[in-house]
Structure 1
Amino acid sequence: MSIAKALEATFTNVSIISSITSTVFIILLGFYLRKRGTFGETFGKILSKVVLSVALPALAFNSFMQPISHETFTQGLNVLIWGILIYIILIFVTPFSYTKFPKDKQETLAILTTFGSTTFFGIPIVGAVFGAKGIMYSSIFNIGYRIFLYSYAYIKMSGLKMEASNIKKMFLNPIVIATFAGLILWMIQDFMPMVAVKQAVNGVIAPNAPTINVAFYRIDQTALWLFKPLQYLGNLASPLAWLSIGATLGSISMKDAASDKASWYYSFNKVILVPLLNLVLLFILTITHILPVSYVALATVIIMMATPTASVASAYAISFDRDAVLASNASLISTICAVVATPIWIALLEVLNQVGIFK
């Protein structure tokens, strides 16, 4: 397919366009309601807590309630490997982007560039565009992210050794628990006791649905009464996250942040260069068959890496007095840039899909 036809196919794809407009419009709605005063000063933080503690864990767990195949298992394993390798690469590469800055500011910007808001910003968008499979890949990809965020980033920003409290945060986070539980259940399902049930699609059993054999714990087929509440909670993740992002943007002084040139430079690196680096490296690894990834796996990684500053990384900078003002400005500017850049990345990825570069 030619590039022109691929572009036409992309921008006439109702699913892709509606996913992009949903993201942008709901973020703008949150921004408007915060500026108008409908949302209070702490409303964005309250929404984010609901998303992180309830909606995203439900979304992550439910994403693994699907059949396993050789293809999905291989892709999941490749995403896991890449999710660890890319953070090792970024830890060594990102400091070179800030050699003109003082050493302390260089370290802060490098950490902020390495760790984006993959959980809060990335997963809801991936889910909206690519559904359960994208959420599953994004949850697997985030395993490496959390390992390095709560270990390397903490040590680097605090100047201290790893604390037991951070190890606890790493493994007892509701999203991590849901991800590991879902991942393990997904991987071992073929070895578990099976039950015969009428096949359900999206939580609905049609009158003429075929009978299938599934693992007894596949609640999407065996316990719809439990799967549906989790599905409703998971469906809250995207709109609540986007409203929270908009409300947060509406509560910060854009004038002060916009005058910070370092934040704009950082934001370009974060939402353009980092995902571009991932795209190039994954393209090379795929065509050489060293670590091949499918289109959905690739797109998931790119969207996850084109995210603004991670709230945890920003909190480290503020807590340990590591250029707190810069971190706050960078968080705001990178969020605005990500809102603009993410639809462009989604469109570009869909063009690559139409052209057939990734299967």
Structure 2
Amino acid sequence: MSILTAFSQMLIFFSLIMVGVACSRKNLVNEENAHSISKLIVNVFNPAIIFSSVLGNSQNKEGDFISLIVLIAIIMFSTFIILGSIGSRFFTKDKDEIKIYKLMTVFSNVGFIGIPLVDSLYGSSAIIYVAIFILIYNILIYTYGISILQGEAGKRLSLTNLKNILNMGTLSCCITLFVFCFHISIHPVVQTTVTYLGNVATPLSMMSIGFSLGRANIFSVFNDKKLYLFSFIKLIIIPVIGVLILKRFNLPEQVLGVSAVMLSMPIGNLPVMLANQYGVNSENCAKGIIITTLFSVITVPLIMGLV
């Protein structure tokens, strides 16, 4: 894929983010509104765009590579966990910050940015692959992620954590894969409704990121040199090595491309929310989200240029 194609798409996303920043700065959207919109994206619009990936598709070539994507996703997240466990101690000695660096390494923004980017670059049929990554992500965030935040108290898998795994993101992925694997026909009225809802996901997801940026003190965000190094490793070093390794296996272009997108995503929002919930200082994570999101406008096209 050409760098220009990916950069053009990221520039569109950046423009939408800036619209969100402007709306936040002008108080058209307050923090409560932004939170409600995020809930709509997570529980309605993103599930819709995931489900729309199996509507009207022949389901032939994509189905051939599902098991391959599962394997890649498992290896990717396992590698992230190992790297986070080893590397976090090089950035800080503070126990809370070590937890945050582990989470920032593993949990990227595969939903808010990953879904619309894959949709834009490879079409809706490729989102079935993203569903695999999201499914594994959701299982890990409410098992491994919670265990990191809780320390010794989180070693046991609680009923609450199991309930959290069964969220709309997980359910939509499971339903999508079920429909896909069993070639279930969906009524045209349902198809159109889901497609309309899915079309809202991309602009609103980008604007939602802008709402968060608009409330942040940007100047205070860029005063932590360790986050620059972390961002360079997360957005450049790891994705470059990952893509170069994957290219040695002569994977189909769409499989390689989706995997590259997943590898190159900035830090996701969920670690901050969970850290706050469990009383862990999330300031570094909030800063990391802003820095990596802004830098990804440049780094994602560079990574996609390797595909």
TM-score, normalization by structure 2:
0.90
Q: Choose from 134, 157, 160 the match for 1:162.
A: 157
User: Which residue number corresponds to residue 183 of structure 1?
Assistant: 177
Q: Which moved more, 1:101-110 or 1:145-154?
A: 101-110
- Aligned counterparts of 1:59 and 1:310: Cα–Cα separation in 2: 19
RMSD (Å), alpha carbons: 2.1
Q: Choose from 54, 59, 81 the match for 1:68.
A: 59
Partner SS for 1:236: helix
Query: What letter is aligned with 2:50?
Result: A
User: Which residue number corresponds to residue 232 of structure 2?
Assistant: 268
Q: Is the 8 A contact 2:103 2:145 kept in 1?
A: yes
Q: Choose from 100, 104, 117 the match for 2:109.
A: 117
Alpha-carbon distance, 1:275 to partner = 2.0
Q: Is the 8 A contact 2:134 2:169 kept in 1?
A: no
Between the two proteins, the alignment pairs up a number of residues equal to 301
**Match status 1:57 vs 2:47:** yes
Q: Choose from 18, 32, 37 the match for 2:22.
A: 32
Query: What letter is aligned with 2:255?
Result: A
- Specify whether residues 276 and 107 from structure 1 end up closer, same or farther in structure 2 by C-alpha distance, changes over 3 A only: farther
Q: Choose from 314, 320, 330 the match for 2:278.
A: 320
Determine what percentage of the aligned residue pairs are the same residue. Answer: 21
Alpha-carbon distance, 1:94 to partner = 2.6
Alpha-carbon distance, 1:325 to partner = 1.7
Written as runs of structure 1 = structure 2, the 5 A alignment for 1:118-267 is: 118-159=110-151, 160=154, 161-171=156-166, 173-189=167-183, 217-219=184-186, 223-267=187-231
Once the two structures are superposed, residues 144-181 of structure 1 have per-residue CA deviations (whole angstroms, 9 ceiling, x without a partner) of: 2222111111111112222211111212x112112111
TM-score, normalization by structure 1:
0.78
- Specify whether residues 92 and 18 from structure 1 end up closer, same or farther in structure 2 by C-alpha distance, changes over 3 A only: closer
- Aligned counterparts of 1:315 and 1:162: Cα–Cα separation in 2: 19
User: Which residue number corresponds to residue 295 of structure 1?
Assistant: 253
- Aligned counterparts of 2:37 and 2:21: Cα–Cα separation in 1: 14
Q: Is the 8 A contact 2:7 2:297 kept in 1?
A: no
Partner SS for 2:123: helix
- Aligned counterparts of 1:273 and 1:42: Cα–Cα separation in 2: 37
**Match status 1:80 vs 2:53:** no
Alpha-carbon distance, 1:281 to partner = 2.8
- Aligned counterparts of 2:289 and 2:236: Cα–Cα separation in 1: 15
Alpha-carbon distance, 1:103 to partner = 5.6
Q: Is the 8 A contact 2:100 2:282 kept in 1?
A: no
Q: Is the 8 A contact 1:80 1:143 kept in 2?
A: no
Once the two structures are superposed, residues 204-246 of structure 1 have per-residue CA deviations (whole angstroms, 9 ceiling, x without a partner) of: xxxxxxxxxxxxx422xxx222211110000100000011111
- Aligned counterparts of 2:35 and 2:242: Cα–Cα separation in 1: 31
- Specify whether residues 54 and 110 from structure 1 end up closer, same or farther in structure 2 by C-alpha distance, changes over 3 A only: same
Alpha-carbon distance, 1:296 to partner = 1.3
Q: Choose from 320, 324, 336 the match for 2:294.
A: 336
Gap runs ≥5 in structure 2 = none
- Aligned counterparts of 1:129 and 1:47: Cα–Cα separation in 2: 25
Gap runs ≥5 in structure 1 = 1-5, 190-216, 288-292, 353-359
Alpha-carbon distance, 1:18 to partner = 5.0
Q: Is the 8 A contact 1:68 1:186 kept in 2?
A: yes
Q: Is the 8 A contact 2:43 2:168 kept in 1?
A: yes
User: Which residue number corresponds to residue 197 of structure 1?
Assistant: none
Instruction: Could you list the structure 1 runs, at least 4 aligned residues long, displaced by more than 4 angstroms after superposition.
Output: none
Between Structure 1 and Structure 2, whose CA radius of gyration is higher?
1
Alpha-carbon distance, 1:60 to partner = 0.9
- Aligned counterparts of 1:130 and 1:314: Cα–Cα separation in 2: 30
Q: Is the 8 A contact 2:19 2:210 kept in 1?
A: yes
Q: Is the 8 A contact 1:84 1:145 kept in 2?
A: no
Q: Which moved more, 1:129-138 or 1:314-323?
A: 314-323
Alpha-carbon distance, 1:345 to partner = 3.1
